[in-house]
Amino acid sequence: SAVISQKPSRDICQRGTSLTIQCQVDSQVTMMFWYRQQPGQSLTLIATANQGSEATYESGFVIDKFPISRPNLTFSTLTVSNMSPEDSSIYLCSVLPYSAPGQGADEQFFGPGTRLTVL
């Protein structure tokens, strides 16, 4: 398993500002992902955070709006830039621990989430 922490746990921000969310894991993991969960909705993948290279973004999400860093195998940040009220959501990181060679990856673990409210 993996123990994941996110900072901040919640924040209230003014429109036009930016917020950086941190995701820290207690052990090295192979993959890290960032999801958005809008109120009462399902989880939507924003991007895959790649260690040492640019993140891989899903359709509808762009680097200028959601820049992502992953400097090592245990840490990643997601920035929500130039925020508007539509960005009010819960942002969750998830991780995929290493598995044995030739084995499919197992459980993806989620962080506790960051609840963002944009006024």
Partner 1 sequence: GENVEQHPSTLSVQEGDSAVIKCTYSDSASNYFPWYKQELGKRPQLIIDIRSNVGEKKDQRIAVTLNKTAKHFSLHITETQPEDSAVYFCAASYNFGNEKLTFGTGTRLTIIP
| 29 phi and psi angles, rounded to 5 deg | -130, 155
Q: DSSP code of 9?
A: S
Position 110 contacts partner 1 (CB under 8 A): yes
Judged by CB under 8 A, the stretch of 12-20, 43-51, 63-71, 73-81 that binds partner 1 is 43-51
**For the chain, how big is the Rg over CA atoms in Å?**
14
Among 42, 64, 86, 101, binds partner 1 (CB under 8 A): 42
Torsion angles phi and psi, residue 86, rounded to 5: -65, -15
Instruction: Check residue 5 for interaction with partner 1 (CB under 8 A).
Output: no
CA distance 87 to 34: 14
The interface region with partner 1, picked from 12-20, 42-50, 64-72, 76-84 by CB under 8 A, is: 42-50
The contact set with partner 1 (CB under 8 A) reads 31, 33, 41-45, 48, 58-59, 92, 94, 96, 104-113
